[in-house]
Amino acid sequence: GIQVEQSPPDLILQEGANSTLRCNFSDSVNNLQWFHQNPWGQLINLFYIPSGTKQNGRLSATTVATERYSLLYISSSQTTDSGVYFCAAVESSGTYKYIFGTGTRLKVLA
Amino acid sequence: DSGVTQTPKHLITATGQRVTLRCSPRSGDLSVYWYQQSLDQGLQFLIQYYNGEERAKGNILERFSAQQFPDLHSELNLSSLELGDSALYFCASSFRTDTQYFGPGTRLTVL
């Protein structure tokens, strides 16, 4: 089955800094999503992005399906951005199974 | 508030017991997903239902089962519980297979 790898595993930023999180997947996908889990455990969907680029405020994401990776950009980071960022992919073979990466743990310092 | 509700919020039970977790999706959503999050296994996809039918099965143990009812709410049944089943169980919903909205989770502790 598909493998999903995220990097870096941990990231510490000063408030106001920018960052790029990466998600690599081992096979072609027809579904790729980014999620944020805040320090209280709540999971929030950030982007549904099987291909192309999307932006939502200070966050944007790009998926290059042909090269099997997706990037999540966080600009002007705030302390509320802290938490764990997961990407999840569904391979194109039709199994419909979601495979999660191990996440990037982000801490933004005031 | 995502619009997805899960009950109960916390559950403490003993090994060998059976529990049922309940999920109500957002109004209008047809798909329901179940996930397990534990410290050692991370986030794992268990199962997906779409409009009452099972659509995808992930790493769901045979001791676990789920269903989606005609009103689209879903239940996850966990039986013969073991210590290792202690985890946070999330439900999510989506209209079809697009953006998922997560419930607050049920924290299961097996003693």
The phi, psi pair for A48, rounded to 5°, reads -105, 110
Distance CA B94, CA B110 (A): 30
Q: Do B57 and A99 touch (CB under 8 A)?
A: no
Residue B61 Cα, gap to closest chain A Cα (Å):
15
| Chain B stretch 13-42, residues whose beta carbon is closer than 8 A to a beta carbon of chain A | 33, 42
List per-block mean pLDDT (blocks of 10 residues) for chain A, which spans 110 residues: 93 97 91 93 93 96 95 97 95 80 96
Which residue is listed with tokens 């920018």?
A18
Give the per-residue pLDDT at B79: 97
Angstroms from B1 CA to nearest CA on chain A: 10
pLDDT string in tens for chain B (111-residue length): 889 999 999 999 999 999 999 999 999 999 999 999 998 778 999 999 999 999 999 989 999 999 999 999 999 999 999 999 999 999 999 997 788 999 999 999 999
- Residue B102 CA to residue B3 CA, distance in Å, equals 8
Please give the Cα distance from B82 to B15 (Å, whole number).
5
The interface residues of chain B toward chain A in range 57-96, judged by CB-CB distance below 8 A, are 57-58, 88, 90, 92
Exposed/middle/buried for residue A18 (C-beta within 10 Å: 0-12, 13-18, 19+): exposed
pLDDT (0 to 100) of residue B5: 97
Assess B98–A contact: CB distance below 8 Å, yes or no: yes
Work out the minimum CA distance from A14 to partner chain B, whole angstroms.
27
pLDDT of res. B1: 83
